[in-house]
A and B are shown apart, each in its own frame.
Chain A
Amino acid sequence: MKKASILMIIGPLFLLGLYFFPLWNIMLGAPQYPEPLGMDIYIDGIKGTNEFDIQNIDGLNHYIGMRKLPKPEEMWEFSTFPIVIGVMVALGVLIGVFGFFNILTHKWFIGWFLFMSILGVLGMYDFNAWMIDYGTNLDPNAIMKLANPDGTPMSYKPPLFGHAKMLNFDVTSLPATGAWMMFIGMTLTLVAFYLGWKKEPKNKESEIKNYATT
């Protein structure tokens, strides 16, 4: 249980990477953009992969009537997410410490993991909803009004995950360093739970099974 608790303390700390590294990255490449434009989505705002990428993406988007990319103060998520992550890190570390001193059991570990997973899914849902709004809610006076073959207005929602072709652009959307650190951290808490579960005093039936397999 000591080893498991140490992992449970370390795991949530990986989430601190979200304060320094982007959670998600969307790259836009096109023939005339051999160096693709990119946006790095942090928990507290959106930054260009290169310094002027946001300005240049906005410049391109104005042709098709998309709004400008939001500044941190324009979306509640960018002020809320850092607090949520902070609370979750503190909570996770606390659970680990309590586990270390046998105040809490490993079940709390999986509890934290599940709670974090639910928050993650909600976050993704919110992110996707924003992208749908951003990519479909267009200026009626847009310079270029393009339609799908079936006559419906073309949408410019970037993919949540993976690649999509949008007009002349190849758009690739993937988790970035912050997200990978979060995944590693969350996996560590899962391992912590597993170790804690294995160290638990076993009943006879499972012991017999163990003999049978060895």
Chain B
Amino acid sequence: MKKYNFILTILAATALISSCGNQGNNNSTGALASSAAEKAYVAPGEHDEFYAFMSGGYSGNITVYGLPSGRLFKEIPVFSQFPTSGYGYSEETKPMLNTSFGFVPWDDAHHPDISQTNGELDGRWIFINGNNTPRIARVSLSTFETEEIIELPNSAGNHSSSFITENTEYVVAGTRFSVPIPQRDMPINEYKGNFKGSLSFISIAPETGRLNLDFQMIMPGFNYDLSHPGRGKSHGWFFFTTYNTEEANTLQEVNASQNDKDFIAAVNWKMVADYVKNGGGTKMATEYAHNVYDEHTHTATSTMKKEVITVDPTEVPGAVFFLPTPKSPHGCDVDPSGQYIIGNGKLSADLTIHSFDKMIAAIEGEKFDGEAYGIPILRFEDVLAGTVKSGGLGPLHTEFDDKGNAYTTFFISSEVVKWKLGTWEVLDRQPTFYSVGHLMIPGGNSRKPFGKYVVAMNKITKDRYLPTGPEMEHSAQIYDISGDKMELIYDFPTHGEPHYAAGCPADLLAPKSKKIYRLDDNKHPYAVTSPDQAKVVREGNEVHVYMSTIRSHFTPDNIEGIKVGDKVYFHITNHEQDFDVPHGFAMIGQNTSELLIMPGQTKTSVWEPKKVGVWPFYCTDFCSALHQEMQGYVRVSPADSNVPLTYSLGE
């Protein structure tokens, strides 16, 4: 223990000296500082080189930034209601947030991942996990809208998700909290041996992106923390870090930190997929929601699925192995070649790197070091490729550049450390502000990284920006990594709590980003494709308003004959076919959000008038010079009135 302290002191001193040296450099050369500003500067009217998609964490959404400017372009609503656009409030999008627990208007979004072909980013979709009520979402990268959400049964704390295989065959989701499977009433302290962890493999239809929960592996009751796919030579395998192999059910802070080593679970998913394809696995009754948004009807539907195929890993010999990995590993990262699997032992100073080749050799040689619940454990020494003695504390996540270097975040010592794959030599270290979680290099989780910038996403902000009371946005830093040494070039606040992020070159997405929805392609059942089709139809106490908008009026804009107690559906179609001309809709006293309707789109808002009177509605988006005139009135009469239903424009 004394010796350990001594080493730590030396290391801390070294870190101090080296960081003092860096500061000295920065202070003495003003030119360096100005070149950093130039590197992050994107002149007015010019575009960023990269897109960065950051998870919103507890905002439940994805935010889209530009690199290297750090400018925020958009918040894409995914798991959370979003009054800005009406997502989760409009009749069309409410089904997106349906689950087996009913309507869940929020989630905790963690790990975005962009679709790949042959291990390279292809920019079709981005996937993200909902951690709290386990869900996986697919977002289109031509409309930048959420198109699909699938709920995961038998999962809890959907954290080792949503990572995709190198040809986007599967999006994979592991459970952080093991639970009784199937759920049942039982004492909590009987966790050990009874709780299970599920690893879900959701197949992706190549053309449509449509998700299907293909199978779930029911694993021992550990916590499956993070995961990444094999690539290149290790394509076909998936790797999951675990902690709480102690299977503690209380005070995990202490009780899940007792084992010197936990495991990385290596899963040969191709073998398991074949097993399932050939009729293997057990059909289990369950319930989960599958919600799909159709770009042409502009409408989501929610279907409740009743069955899932579960796989007992011991039934598929050779498919799952445990790789002992020290100190409750958190991040589980695979280098671009697919050879190295990096386990970031979060309670350690060191990184453990496993070799895929050695793992295969050990499996073939059947050199096992016992088993856990029937799953063979490989010998640590047999699979170990090397150790990075970094001198940092609390390694969490690793990303890669295209020059054979790796970059690891250290939460406790608050820094990014650059090291060399193969030699395990530390090349550089830079402080982060403060306590960095994930980091992101565009394409850094693929066969082809774009090693120009790394973004560090921090958990603690403190004094980085002007204070805004006790609650602040998180901070992120951008480093230029094109040279030998990392150079901090920019620092910016991020919305929500970005956990992971995914980035890609701008030219992969910008040319195919949709500008409008085609009106002649609008298949919404309540759409009006020309203003003369606008109408108001009563069906009992339900009234359907088929309304159209174009600069700068609603058709119709005067409606009479609505009664207290009616349920009025405003189905609004935006007739604009011009880029960036949305119209909004809001009705006084409406118990829901506004709508923001894109050109060619139809959205529906419900209003249940409670008071007699003449009530205005208006366009909420400053659409044109006559935006202020874009308004209308609805006359609401008493429930027993005989005012006929009429509607008009310009009469």
Task: Please state if B578 and A52 are interface contacts (CB–CB under 8 Å).
Answer: yes
Whether A143 sits at the interface, judged by CB under 8 Å, is yes
Task: Please state if B626 and A52 are interface contacts (CB–CB under 8 Å).
Answer: no
Q: How far is the CB of B487 from chain A (nearest CB, A)?
A: 33
Cβ contacts under 8 Å, B551 to chain A: 59
Cβ contacts under 8 Å, B577 to chain A: 51-52, 55-56
Task: Please state if B626 and A63 are interface contacts (CB–CB under 8 Å).
Answer: yes
CA distance A56 to B551 in the complex (A): 10
Task: Please state if B578 and A63 are interface contacts (CB–CB under 8 Å).
Answer: no
CA distance A56 to B519 in the complex (A): 14
Partner of B625, one of A51, A52, A55, A63: A63
User: Which residues from 1 to 57 on chain A have a C-beta closer than 8 Å to any C-beta of chain B?
Assistant: 35, 51-52, 55-56
Cβ contacts under 8 Å, A55 to chain B: 577-578
CA distance A122 to B579 in the complex (A): 38
Query: Mind listing 17 A-B residue pairs with CB under 8 Å?
Result: A35-B579, A51-B577, A52-B516, A52-B577, A52-B578, A55-B577, A55-B578, A56-B577, A56-B578, A59-B550, A59-B551, A59-B576, A59-B578, A63-B625, A63-B626, A143-B626, A144-B625
User: Which residues from 576 to 603 on chain B have a C-beta closer than 8 Å to any C-beta of chain A?
Assistant: 576-579
Knowing that A35-B579, A52-B577 are A-B contacts, what are 5 other residue pairs whose CB atoms are under 8 Å apart, sorted by A's residue number? A52-B516, A56-B578, A63-B625, A143-B626, A144-B625
Cβ contacts under 8 Å, A51 to chain B: 577
Nearest A residue to B629 via CB reads: A143
Nearest B residue to A53 via CB reads: B578
Q: How far is the CB of B649 from chain A (nearest CB, A)?
A: 14
CA distance A121 to B493 in the complex (A): 64
CA distance A147 to B550 in the complex (A): 26
Interface string of B537-577 (1 = CB under 8 A from A): 00000000000001100000000000000000000000011
CA distance A56 to B515 in the complex (A): 14
Q: How far is the CB of A61 from chain B (nearest CB, A)?
A: 12
Cβ contacts under 8 Å, A52 to chain B: 516, 577-578
Cβ contacts under 8 Å, B626 to chain A: 63, 143
The 7 tightest CB contacts between A and B, nearest first, are A52-B577, A56-B578, A55-B577, A59-B551, A143-B626, A52-B578, A59-B550
Cβ contacts under 8 Å, B550 to chain A: 59
Interface string of B625-639 (1 = CB under 8 A from A): 110000000000000
Nearest B residue to A56 via CB reads: B578
Nearest B residue to A143 via CB reads: B626
Cβ contacts under 8 Å, A143 to chain B: 626
Q: How far is the CB of B488 from chain A (nearest CB, A)?
A: 33
Interface string of A117-152 (1 = CB under 8 A from B): 000000000000000000000000001100000000
Q: How far is the CB of A116 from chain B (nearest CB, A)?
A: 39
User: Which residues from 55 to 105 on chain A have a C-beta closer than 8 Å to any C-beta of chain B?
Assistant: 55-56, 59, 63
Nearest B residue to A144 via CB reads: B625
User: Which residues from 140 to 175 on chain A have a C-beta closer than 8 Å to any C-beta of chain B?
Assistant: 143-144
Cβ contacts under 8 Å, A59 to chain B: 550-551, 576, 578
Q: How far is the CB of A197 from chain B (nearest CB, A)?
A: 54
Cβ contacts under 8 Å, A35 to chain B: 579
Q: How far is the CB of B44 from chain A (nearest CB, A)?
A: 13
Interface string of B615-649 (1 = CB under 8 A from A): 00000000001100000000000000000000000
Interface-centre pick from A52, A55, A56 (highest chain B CB count, 10 A): A52
Cβ contacts under 8 Å, A144 to chain B: 625
CA distance A56 to B625 in the complex (A): 15
CA distance A35 to B579 in the complex (A): 10
Q: How far is the CB of A75 from chain B (nearest CB, A)?
A: 23
Cβ contacts under 8 Å, B579 to chain A: 35
Q: How far is the CB of A47 from chain B (nearest CB, A)?
A: 15
CA distance A152 to B579 in the complex (A): 35
CA distance A94 to B386 in the complex (A): 86
CA distance A63 to B579 in the complex (A): 19
Q: How far is the CB of B515 from chain A (nearest CB, A)?
A: 9
User: Which residues from 480 to 535 on chain B have a C-beta closer than 8 Å to any C-beta of chain A?
Assistant: 516
CA distance A143 to B578 in the complex (A): 21
Nearest B residue to A51 via CB reads: B577
Cβ contacts under 8 Å, B576 to chain A: 59
Q: How far is the CB of A192 from chain B (nearest CB, A)?
A: 46
CA distance A55 to B550 in the complex (A): 11
CA distance A183 to B550 in the complex (A): 42
CA distance A63 to B626 in the complex (A): 9
CA distance A35 to B578 in the complex (A): 11
